[in-house]
Amino acid sequence: MIAFSSLWISRYYTEQYEAVVENIEYYQLETTVKEQFLSSHTYELISSLLLHEYWVDDIYQSINREPLTITSSSHHDDVLDLTLVGTSQSFLSWYNMVQQKIKYCHIQIISIDTKGDSIFFTCKVTPLVM
């Protein structure tokens, strides 16, 4: 009876040991695959596409952070045409922020007009191809 119990206990711990070894091997394999994927060109391409998918939303959200008002906007053929009203300081602050934080977009200033106390900034925003 004692021999049978010892055999059963030995088998139980052997199975537990093998399960732990299997989990460790799986974790190591998964970690290696993740590291290889994160350093691959495929990952860079997918990241680039995901960034480009939401670039218009990122631009609109960035405008909301500054005291600027959108008077007109249109989006066609991956070009966002914007006319913004605000101070030169708020426009330059927004422009610099986009250049620093939303690096996958390019802003081209088309015109700057003044009407009374208001300054109108017309610009085109396009995504950069990575």
Closest of 98, 68, 97, 73 to residue 83, by C-alpha? 73
Domain 54-127, CATH among 3.30.1360.100, 3.90.230.10, 3.40.250.10, 1.10.8.870: 3.30.1360.100
Sequence spans of domains, the chain: 2-39, 54-127
Q: Note the pLDDT tens digit of each residue in 38-72.
A: 777 777 767 666 656 677 888 888 888 888 899 99
In the numeric block, which tokens belong to residue 119?
A: 């300054």
Whether the Cβ atoms of residue 107 and residue 95 lie closer than 8 Å to each other: yes
In the numeric block, which tokens belong to residue 16?
A: 């537990």
| Helix 41-53 and helix 2-38, axial crossing angle in degrees, nearest 10 | 70
Q: Note the pLDDT tens digit of each residue in 85-101.
A: 998 899 999 999 888 88
Distance CA 31, CA 38 (A): 11
Choice between 113 and 58, residue whose per-residue pLDDT is larger = 113
At residue 85, the pLDDT reads 94
